């Protein structure tokens, strides 16, 4: 932006949408490192990074629907379905691990495709559509498993979920690759830009010859694909395919993109800020554990954090509008 060239580094930093997040993260790190000797140990860092992985991909799954001004209430339900499908394929049918993973991703993308097509074809609000499909996906999940997890998963798969190089879990690799791919997709490819264009001004996008409905279907499909990826990672992390995977994803999936400055109306999301938001959430959760705070209070804090982040963005928007 041309008018930013005259600003000092400090001013530019403050104008940046993730500056507040970066500051909060640094404060959190310094505080916890000072207060708790356990915080900076290799094992604790490993634990934090490990819990970062699934949440990040879940946040990305929601972020993509937010990008087009939609939402996906079925992230967790779809994740649960993919988790038990992958577990079942490996335990009951003896599928090789890569095949099971690919099938799982396909189920995730398929679920997202259904969400997208239903939204576009019926013209019904995506909120209702994904609320309904969420219930349907959960129903299939519980119908198949009768709530009994799959425990006997291939050793190589489970080993991937627990392996690490000092503080770095193997599990961190997929989310990092996904983050890089997503950032590139949204910044440099035609479908990625079309996704943001449709979110930014649907009518303008359509008049510019962008297939609006197709783009919305794509966003939902990618969202489902990522929900599936998160589920597979969660199975590897837990070492078993629990039907309950995904039940606690919904709040987090909205919290991270929104704390990262996403506009609910669409058209404005940030991969980096969403990732930073997840880092902040993980640090807070870890800090509460180290401080032996009742985990239920983490919920409360997360709520407060969402409100604070949204308030901050609103303030920034009002100020920018007046300039």
Partner 1 sequence: MRLTIEGIGKDFPGVTALDDVSFEILPGETHALMGENGAGKSTLIKIITGLYRPDRGRLLVDGKPVDFTSPRDAIAAGISAVHQERNLIPRFTVGENIMIERPPTRNGVIDFDKVHSEARRFLDMIDPTIDTRTEVRHLSVAQMQIVEIAKALSLEARVLLLDEPTASITGHEADALFAVVRRLRDEGKAIVFVSHKLEEVMAISDRVTVLRDGRIAAAGQPIAQMDRGKIVTAMIGREERVAEMGTRSVDRTKTVMEARNVATSLGHKNVSFQLHKGEILGLYGLVGAGRTELARALIGDARIVSGELRLNGNPVTIPDVPTAIRRHRLGYISEDRKAEGLILTHPIRSNIAISVWRRIASALGLITRADERRIAHPLVEKLEVKTPSIEQAVGKLSGGNQQKVSIAKWLAAGVEILIIDEPTVGIDIKTKTAIHELIGEITREGLSVLLISSDMPEMITLADRILVMRDFAIAGTIENTRRYEPMSREIMGLIHAGSADAAPAAETAHG
The least distance separating partner 1 from the CB of residue 189, rounded to whole angstroms, comes to: 6
Give φ, ψ of 154 to 5 degrees. Answer: -55, 140
Quick one: 128 or 204, whose CB is closer to partner 1?
204
Quick one: 202 or 224, whose CB is closer to partner 1?
202
The least distance separating partner 1 from the CB of residue 132, rounded to whole angstroms, comes to: 22
Quick one: 169 or 199, whose CB is closer to partner 1?
199
**Residues in contact with partner 1 by the rule CB under 8 A:** 1-3, 188-190, 193, 196-197, 200-201, 203-211, 267-268
Contacts of 224 (CB under 8 A, 6+ apart): 61, 72, 78, 108, 109, 110, 111, 112, 113, 115
Give CA–CA dist 171/278, Å, rounded. 16
The least distance separating partner 1 from the CB of residue 186, rounded to whole angstroms, comes to: 11
Quick one: 191 or 239, whose CB is closer to partner 1?
191
The least distance separating partner 1 from the CB of residue 319, rounded to whole angstroms, comes to: 13
Provide the CA 105 distance to its chain's centre, in angstroms: 15
The residue among 203, 205, 184 whose CA lies nearest residue 194 is 205
Contacts of 169 (CB under 8 A, 6+ apart): 46, 49, 50, 53, 162, 163
The least distance separating partner 1 from the CB of residue 12, rounded to whole angstroms, comes to: 15
Quick one: 164 or 268, whose CB is closer to partner 1?
268
Quick one: 56 or 186, whose CB is closer to partner 1?
186
Contacts of 150 (CB under 8 A, 6+ apart): 84, 87, 88, 90, 91, 92, 240, 241
Contacts of 59 (CB under 8 A, 6+ apart): 252, 253, 255, 256, 257, 260, 274, 275, 277, 278
The least distance separating partner 1 from the CB of residue 179, rounded to whole angstroms, comes to: 18
């Amino acid at each position: 932006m041309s008018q930013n060239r005259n600003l000092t580094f400090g001013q530019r930093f403050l104008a940046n949408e993730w500056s507040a997040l970066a500051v909060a993260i640094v404060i959190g790190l310094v505080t916890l490192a000072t207060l708790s000797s356990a915080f900076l140990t290799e094992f604790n860092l490993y634990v934090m990074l490990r819990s970062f992985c699934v949440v990040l991909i879940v946040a990305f799954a929601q972020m993509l629907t937010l990008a087009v001004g939609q939402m996906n209430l079925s992230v967790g339900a779809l994740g649960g379905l993919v988790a038990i499908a992958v577990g079942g394929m490996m335990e009951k049918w003896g599928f090789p691990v890569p095949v099971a993973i690919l099938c799982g991703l396909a189920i995730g993308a398929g679920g997202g495709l259904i969400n997208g097509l239903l939204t576009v074809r019926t013209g019904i609000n995506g909120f209702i559509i994904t609320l309904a499909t969420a219930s349907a996906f959960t129903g299939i999940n519980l119908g198949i498993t009768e709530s009994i997890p799959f425990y006997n998963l291939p050793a190589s798969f489970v080993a991937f979920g627990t392996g690490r190089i000092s503080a770095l879990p193997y599990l961190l690799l997929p989310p990092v690759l996904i983050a890089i791919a997503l950032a590139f997709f949204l910044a440099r490819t035609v479908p990625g830009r079309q996704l943001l264009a449709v979110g930014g001004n649907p009518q303008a996008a359509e008049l510019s010859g962008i297939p609006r409905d197709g783009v919305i279907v794509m966003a939902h499909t990618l969202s489902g694909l990522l929900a599936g990826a998160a589920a597979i990672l969660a199975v590897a992390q837990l070492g078993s395919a629990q039907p309950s995977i995904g039940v606690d994803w919904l709040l987090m999936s909205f919290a991270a993109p929104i704390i990262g400055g996403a506009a609910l109306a669409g058209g404005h999301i940030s991969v980096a800020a969403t990732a930073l938001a997840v880092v902040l959430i993980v640090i807070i959760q870890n800090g509460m554990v180290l401080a032996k705070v009742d985990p239920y209070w983490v919920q409360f804090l997360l709520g407060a954090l969402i409100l604070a982040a949204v308030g901050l963005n609103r303030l920034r928007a009002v100020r920018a509008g007046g300039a």
